[in-house]
Chains A and B, each alone.
Chain A
Amino acid sequence: MSHSHKPGESGADLPHAAPTVEEITDFEVLEIAVRELAIEHGLFTAEDHRRFTEWTESIGPAAGSRLVAKAWTDPAFKARVLDDAVKACKEIGIDWAEPTGFGTPSDYMNLRVLEDTPTLHHVIVCTLCSCYPRPLLGMSPEWYRTTNYRRRLVRWPRQVLAEFGLIIPPEVEVRVEDSNQKCRFMVMPMRPEGTDSWTEEQLAEIVTRDCMIGVALPRPGRTADVHPVHKARHPVQE
């Protein structure tokens, strides 16, 4: 079939320009449709929805950092965290039932805190989509929800961790936790050397979001999640 066109001919089979925005998924369309119906039927208002979104997006990983720091300094609290994490969260002011009385959608009030040991390292993923302990850690980072991370972490965990700059010695067991039902998981890393005299507040500063996902380890001086920058081998010449 010819692709040449004379003026005035139908342009129906002209090549299209590439779309400039990502396509919206079926589930995004469904969410908008259900939300608009709910607003139309008076289940909640658009302002309620905006406030809930604002509230959800305002949760950060600080509560998780506090939980780990407190567990490091208080063995009795650590035991309670490992025994019933949702209950222990209340001691640091996090109620998994908020704001609805039964939790946020998809956070089912089943939390397991995975304790790292000298011979065991945990890392979490949700291969189905994006299960994440949001009441403690807030919204997941964008990379956590990518298919790239999800499909590769379960199969090549050590290689993916290495891309984050984390090399786990071969003698240490790497345990991937694929959370895809109703349990949510968070990693409790080991307390690093050189922090013996630190306060809970100082300790919380080094327990960053990535440490609680399991793609980084806490260490003195590391207070932010900065990923290694791989420079281009053949950078664009000015």
Chain B
Amino acid sequence: MPKSKPPEKVRPPADAARFKVGDRVRVKDMPNLFYSRTQMYIRGVVGTIAECTYKDIIPEDEAFNRDGRIEQYYIVRFRQKDLWPEYQFENDTLQTESPERWLEPAD
């Protein structure tokens, strides 16, 4: 294989994580400016932080350049009943990831 240049590892540090496991968060419903990986079906819905995963560049910047804003990412757990009003099964859940900018405290 040809040796390609690895992505830049030295990145400015992100701010300290704002949320911790168990915190209840609401997904913000912000306009999509050019690019987003935050799915419409979780916008405005309240979930719980299941894991603080890693700090990395946000998709909104990464889509255009390797340099950009670094943020904490989280795995957020939702109750299916909160995502889909007609959902029949009380205990079912859905998890997905989000960078910090899309989350706000729910309480």
Residues of chain A having any CB pair with chain B under 8 Å: 43-45, 48, 51-52, 99-102, 108, 110, 112, 127-128, 154-155, 157-158, 170-171, 173-183
Contact = CB atoms under 8 A, between A and B. Distances in A.
Contact of A100 (B4, B73, B97): B4
Contacts of B99: 181
B65 interface: no
A110 B53 contact: yes
A175 B92 contact: yes
Contacts of B56: 108, 182
Nearest to A182: B56
Chain A interface mostly: loop
A113 to B, nearest CB: 13
B100 to A, nearest CB: 12
A208 B103 CA distance: 37
Contacts of A44: 2, 4
Nearest to B4: A100
Chain B's interface size range is 20 to 34
Interface of B: 1-2, 4, 6-7, 37, 39, 41, 51, 53-54, 56, 59, 73, 75, 77, 80, 83-84, 87, 89, 91-99
B2 A43 contact: yes
Contacts of A173: 91-93
B4 A175 contact: no
A193 to B, nearest CB: 24
Contact of A177 (B73, B95, B98): B95
Nearest to A154: B94
B39 A48 contact: no
A102 B7 contact: yes
Given A100-B4, A102-B6, A180-B37, 19 more contacts: A44-B2, A48-B1, A52-B1, A101-B6, A110-B54, A155-B41, A155-B83, A155-B84, A157-B80, A170-B89, A173-B91, A176-B92, A176-B94, A178-B94, A179-B97, A181-B98, A182-B53, A182-B56, A183-B75
A154 B92 contact: no
Nearest to B58: A181
A154 B4 contact: no
Contacts of B89: 158, 170, 174
A101 B77 CA distance: 32
Contact of B37 (A170, A176, A181): A181
A177 B76 CA distance: 10
B59 A181 contact: yes
Given A43-B2, A155-B84, A177 B96 contact: yes
